[in-house]
């Protein structure tokens, strides 16, 4: 949730007020005296200021759009899930390295969809089509739904929906800590909540407007106490000076906060830093003083991706060193935990 002083304007598609979630968000924000405007379509948002790329970016990050999702086609989310679950797009955090910097336009506002029941009905159809196989949905592919959950309540509705699906499962990732409304839900172990974490240094330097590490770990501990399948995403792993000690400290802090024990349903996703030429250009336009390691000639190689474009990743030697480190530390501190990705 954009905290006071960060949210500057809210745009409502008029039709959104016909839905309970839309009316709920409107009444709350109106009482808080936010600037509210109305749109014909949430896909045509005008009126966000910003003359330079940096101004446009930060003004977009301070904008909330509330609308009705017209298309109920769900995008693929391979290889991590079968489909994206489109509850929210955009994220209110300002992470300098984020891949969404190349996907959400020059003014990357956060958008909440209010027709949650229709979205979940479509999910039910997709689940039915694949029975008796399990169909997995990702709710955070292009967003962080926990960030706006105090406004929307849509994630709680989705978790309750998936608790009733014998052949459907939900997963999501977050950096935010607004989990109170999720703790007492009867999730039936059908939703996995993973926390995106990193070293204190990376969070302080690059992950602006997000909770610090110990706050995320405290929230993760509460999620685990509520019985959810859980996990962490450590991404991007930055192989800068002292990285092994930094990430060893992260893993020790994680072990201390969650009280890990063998048999706990807990997963790891470890993803090294990578970037495209387009992403680097966009990042430098918004964060010209950044010291993100984006020198393609320094411990990098060019790798063609599955979507038709290439990216700069660490050299094979660097990646092997990283993989060996994390495998050793995870096996030692979290025996029987599943390493879903180590790339």
Phi then psi dihedrals of residue 338, to 5 deg: -95, 130
The domain containing residue 23 runs over which residues?
A: 9-342
**What is the mean pLDDT of each successive set of 10 residues along the chain, which is 343 residues long?**
67 96 93 87 89 93 96 92 96 90 82 98 98 98 95 96 98 98 98 98 97 98 97 98 98 94 92 94 94 93 80 97 98 95 95
- Residue 4 within a domain: no
Question: Would 126 be classed as within a structural domain?
Answer: yes
Residues contacting residue 309 through CB under 8 Å, at least 6 positions apart: 276
* Four-residue CA torsion sign, 309, 313, 315, 319: negative
d(CA 167, CA 128): 8
- Does some domain include residue 324? yes
CATH number for the domain spanning 100: value is 3.80.30.30
- Tell whether 2 is covered by a domain: no
Residue 95 pairs in a beta bridge with 207
What is the reported pLDDT for 283?
94
pLDDT given for residue 307 in this prediction = 63
Does any domain span residue 3?
A: no
Provide the domain count of the chain.
1
| Tokens linked to 33 | 């005296």
Angle among Cα 274, 279, 281 to the nearest 5 degrees reads 125
pLDDT score of 309: 77
In a domain, 182, yes or no: yes
Q: Does the residue 158 lie in any domain?
A: yes
pLDDT of res. 270:
98
Rounded distance between C-alpha atoms, residue 51 and residue 275, angstroms: 26
Residue 128 belongs to some domain of the structure:
yes
Q: In the prediction, which pLDDT does 303 show?
A: 92
């Amino acid at each position: 949730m954009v905290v006071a002083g960060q949210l500057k304007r809210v745009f409502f598609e008029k039709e959104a007020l016909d839905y309970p979630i839309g009316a709920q968000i409107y009444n709350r924000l109106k009482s808080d005296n936010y600037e509210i405007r109305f749109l014909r379509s949430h896909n045509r948002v005008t009126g966000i200021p910003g003359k330079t790329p940096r101004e446009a970016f930060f003004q977009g990050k301070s904008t909330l759009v509330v609308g009705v999702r017209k298309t109920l086609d769900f995008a693929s989310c391979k290889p991590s899930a079968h489909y994206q679950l489109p509850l929210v797009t955009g994220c209110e955090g300002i992470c300098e390295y984020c891949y969404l910097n190349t996907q959400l336009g020059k003014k990357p506002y956060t958008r909440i969809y209010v027709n949650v029941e229709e979205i979940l009905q479509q999910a039910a159809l997709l689940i039915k089509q694949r029975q008796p196989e399990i169909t997995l949905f990702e709710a955070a592919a292009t967003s962080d739904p926990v960030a706006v959950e105090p406004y929307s309540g849509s994630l709680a509705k989705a978790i309750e929906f998936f608790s009733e699906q014998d052949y459907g499962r939900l997963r999501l990732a977050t950096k935010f800590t607004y989990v109170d409304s999720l703790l007492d839900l009867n999730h039936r172990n059908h939703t996995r909540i993973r926390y995106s974490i990193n070293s204190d240094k990376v969070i302080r330097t690059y992950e602006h407007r997000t909770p610090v590490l110990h706050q995320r770990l405290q929230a993760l501990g509460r999620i685990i106490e509520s019985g959810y399948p859980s996990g962490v995403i450590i991404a991007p792993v930055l192989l800068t000076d002292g990285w092994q000690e930094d990430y060893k400290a992260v893993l020790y802090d994680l072990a201390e906060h969650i009280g890990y024990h063998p048999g706990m349903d807990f997963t790891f996703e470890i993803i090294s830093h990578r970037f495209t030429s387009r992403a680097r250009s966009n990042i430098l336009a918004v964060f010209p003083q950044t010291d993100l390691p984006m020198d393609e000639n320094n411990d990098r190689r060019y790798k063609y991706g599955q979507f038709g474009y290439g990216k700069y990743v660490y050299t094979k030697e660097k990646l092997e060193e990283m993989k060996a480190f994390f495998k050793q530390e995870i096996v030692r501190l979290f025996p029987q935990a599943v390493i879903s990705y180590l790339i």
